Structure 1
Amino acid sequence: MLKGLLDLHNLLRWLILILLLVNIIKNYADLKKPFAKAHKKLGLWLMICAHITLLVGLGILAVDLSALADKSGIMSNEALRFKFVEHPVAMIIAIVLITIGKGVAKKDISDLKKHRKAATLFLIALILILIMIPWSTSSLVPGM
């Protein structure tokens, strides 16, 4: 079961990265165009994938934490601290940024400001996610 959750988490990671790139490019490319239904739908898909990934990640975290015998050494061990503290906190922050970026569509501001704010929040989230993905310990392809 844990392997399946890890594979799903890994697959959703790639979907989020692709959707972030598409959202960022589309928002920057359409700065002088109206904030359309397509922008809202792309943001919604991104937010849905991010929230599902968060739930799957929290499930993995709970299973791994319950299997850990000595929880007192988490903060002193760099690998454990990254896995149980740094990675989850950074990803929650990134998902909050994605959610706020999606919510920009509902604001009563100009379309130019909507595009800029959404793209900026998505870009910050992308950078944070890229920095905090455990590249050395995760497979590039789900299931491998």
Structure 2
Amino acid sequence: MLKGLLDLHNLLRWFILILLLVNIIKNYASINKPFTTGDKKLGLWLMICAHTTFLVGLILLIIKLTQLPAGVSVMKNDALRFSFVEHPVAMLIAIVLITIGRGVFRKNISDAKKHTRAATLFLLALIVILAMIPWATSSLVPGM
């Protein structure tokens, strides 16, 4: 079960990265165009995928926390601190940025500002995610 959840978490990561890139490019390319239903739906798919990945990650975190031996200090061990503190907090920040970026269309501002704000928030989320993915310990292709 743990391997399946980890593979799902890794697979969803790629969907988030692709959707972030598509959203960023689309919003920057559409700055002088109206904010369309397609823009809203693309942001919605990104937000759904990001929240689903976060929930799977939380389940993995809880399972791994229950498997830690008694007396282990998470904060003194770099690898454990990254896995149990830094990575989840950074991903929570990225999810918040994605959610705020998705909600920009509700604001009563010009379409150009909507596109700019959404793209900027999505870009910040992308930077946070790329910085905090454990590239060295995770497989590039899920299941491998």
TM-score, length-scaled by structure 1: 0.99
The offset of 1:140, in angstroms, is 0.2
| Partner deviation per Cα, 1:17-51 (whole Å, 9 max, x = no partner) | 00000000000000000000110000000000000
Alpha-carbon offset, residue 72 of structure 1 = 4.4
In structure 2, how many angstroms separate the alpha carbons of the residues matched to 1:108 and 1:134?
A: 39
Distance 1:22 1:103 in 2: 17
**For residue 41 of structure 2, what is the aligned residue in structure 1?**
41
**2:15 counterpart residue number:** 15
Which residue number corresponds to residue 75 of structure 1? 75
Of residues 70-79 and 16-25 in structure 1, the stretch that sits farther from structure 2 once superposed is 70-79
Q: Distance in 2 between matches of 1:39 and 1:111?
A: 11
Going from structure 1 to structure 2, the CA distance change for 1:71 and 1:5 (only over 3 Å counts) comes to farther
Task: After TM superposition, give the deviation of residue 70 of structure 1 in Å.
Answer: 3.3
Aligned length: 144
Task: Please report the TM-score for the alignment, with normalisation by the length of structure 2.
Answer: 0.99
Partner Cα separation in structure 1 for residue 100 and residue 71 of structure 2: 33
Corresponding residue number in structure 1 for 2:55: 55
Amino acid at match of 1:20: L
Secondary structure at the residue paired with 2:105?
Answer: helix
Q: Find out whether 1:87 has 2:83 as its counterpart.
A: no
Does residue 116 in structure 1 map to residue 116 in structure 2?
A: yes
Within 5 Å, give how 1:26-37 maps onto structure 2. Answer: 26-37=26-37
Distance 2:80 2:142 in 1: 22
2:89 maps to amino acid:
V
Change (3 A) 1:52 1:28: same
Match in the other structure for 1:102: 102
AA aligned opposite 1:13? R
Identify unmatched segments of 5+ residues in structure 1.
Answer: none
Any gaps of 5 or more consecutive residues in structure 2?
none
Letter paired with 1:37 = T
Amino acid at match of 1:103: G
Q: Secondary structure at the match of 2:134?
A: coil
| Cα distance, 1:53 vs structure 2 | 0.3
